[in-house]
Amino acid sequence: MVPLNIAARLERLPLSRPHFRLLIIHGFGWLFDAMDVIMLSFILAALAQQWKLASSQIGLIASAGLFGMFVGAALSGIVADYWGRKAVFQVTLLIFSISTLLCAFASDIKTLMILRFFVGVGLGGEFPVVSSLMSEFIPSKYRGRMVTLLESFWAYGALVAAVISFLVIPTYGWRIAFVIGGLPALYVWVIRRRLPESPRWLESKGRTVEAEHVMKALESEVEKSTRMALPPIETSEVPVVPPKSRFTFSELWTRPYRVRTVMLWTLWFGIVFGYYGIFVWLPTLFVRAGYTLVNSFLYVVIITLAQIPGYFSAAYLIERIGRKSTLTAYLILSALAAFLYGQATSTTGLLVWASVMSFFFLGAWGVVYAYTAELYPTRARATGAGSASAVGRIGGILAPTVVGILLPSIGSSGVLALNAVALAVAAGSVALLGTETKGRKLEDISA
């Protein structure tokens, strides 16, 4: 029997328990990533005091991990389009978890920087693969909302990291925080047993028997969870399209992908520069402002809480007004809030504007991942997303070091204004070059 078209079968599925299970499985991978990235910002604040580090040295430690993210993102997308999303998800999770655990035993800056590089390879490799895998399971009318909700797990991970840091680091030290950060290595067994490979990817590779097996299992689970027969498929039974030749990096610069690539690379560079230029430094900026380490950690917990409604508001708007409008508005508002945060002088002002910035900034991040995964075909989705993420990591590599160098001379207000400009440039690229993808099938968008 000739298998049915995978895209048509996925599109007719109602949103149900299997989709939310996939959201949770992918989401916990995202949560663990956020724990590592955000916990490092607290660890750096503690290390600065214990190891007597200059701001430039703090920036170098952060940038080492971000250089690893660049390498991981650049390689993993290509590998995932060739080898499969699920396998790369497992390998990258193991790399960053084990490397994080080893960071607990670092005795000097050089060793810590090397280990943070490998942590970054795992983290950077996981980001584009997870968003691509998730987007390939979800029907088009729910896809943007579900991928944005996936990104919301970053806020939960950031909150867990902030709470752990607040409770653990001042009392037990930063090494214990790294040990806790290594525990996600155990989660790879959940991925191996509970997460299926993308049927769209399997079909694109001509692995139709495996794609059919995944689809039958998914369809059966949907029917059981909804207690309803599935609606008819919109397209008639058709042969699977023969797999195309492997996508090459140079094709990112051919029509219709050229403008999308320029837009995404600019967007990713600006938003990653802004994120790592601000959030990696938040605890340190509070300490520099004269607050105690404990109070600084507590304030960051409060600011992190603002991310959660930011994600949910973006998840609502992305299917109401579209990706382009939501992303542009949230980037502009986060840039404005970052600038006003830099001008605040009272504790109340700092917390209010930093929380507003956190709300819109992380809401924008959710839309970025949903939008990026929609702009390239299945055979190139991870490659396109990975290349954009890799360019973004260049901004991430530069941001902590640039902030560390400039902070003594231009102060917190100047640093925050610089990052606000980066966010404004990212917003401009989306507004001028972006295309709307709301409600469109992945095959229609990327054809």
Per-residue pLDDT for 2 more than 50? no
The token pair at 184 is 């996600």
Residue 238's pLDDT is 43
Give the C-alpha separation, 33 to 158, whole Å.
Answer: 9
Give the C-alpha separation, 370 to 387, whole Å.
Answer: 15
Q: Tell me the per-residue pLDDT of 387-427, one tens digit each, with 9 for 90 and over.
A: 998 999 899 888 888 888 888 899 889 999 999 999 999 99
Per-residue pLDDT for 34 more than 50? yes
pTM: 0.81
Residue 225's pLDDT is 92
Q: Between these two residues, 367 and 241, which has the higher pLDDT value? A: 367
Q: What is the largest CA-CA distance in the chain?
A: 71
Q: Tell me the per-residue pLDDT of 108-134, one tens digit each, with 9 for 90 and over.
A: 999 999 999 999 999 988 988 888 899
The token pair at 49 is 């005091």
DSSP string, 210-252: HHHHHHHHHHHHHHHHHTSPPPPPSSPP-PPPPPPPPP-GGGG
List CB contacts of 71: < 8 A, sequence separation 6 or more: 117, 120, 121, 124, 390
Per-residue pLDDT for 305 more than 60? yes
Q: Tell me the per-residue pLDDT of 314-354, one tens digit each, with 9 for 90 and over.
A: 999 999 999 999 999 999 999 999 999 989 888 899 899 99
Q: Residue 208 is which amino acid?
A: T
Q: Is the Cα torsion angle 361, 40, 372, 390 positive or negative in sign?
A: positive
Give the percent of the chain with pLDDT over 70.
95
Per-residue pLDDT for 40 more than 80? yes
Per-residue pLDDT for 232 more than 90? no
Give the C-alpha separation, 211 to 232, whole Å.
Answer: 19
Query: Mean pLDDT, the chain, as a whole number?
Result: 88
Give the C-alpha separation, 388 to 352, whole Å.
Answer: 32
Residue 15 DSSP one-character state: S
Structural domains in the chain, sorted by start = 6-229+251-437 (1.20.1250.20)
The token pair at 369 is 């991942």
Lowest mean pLDDT among 78-82, 84-88, 232-236: 232-236
- Highest averaged pLDDT of the listed ranges 31-45, 279-293, 353-367: 353-367
- C-alpha angle 388-94-307 in degrees, rounded to nearest 5: 55
Q: Name the pLDDT band for 248 (thresholds 50, 70, 90).
A: low
Rg value, the chain, Cα: 21
Q: Tell me the per-residue pLDDT of 157-196, one tens digit each, with 9 for 90 and over.
A: 988 988 888 889 989 999 999 999 999 999 998 998 899 9
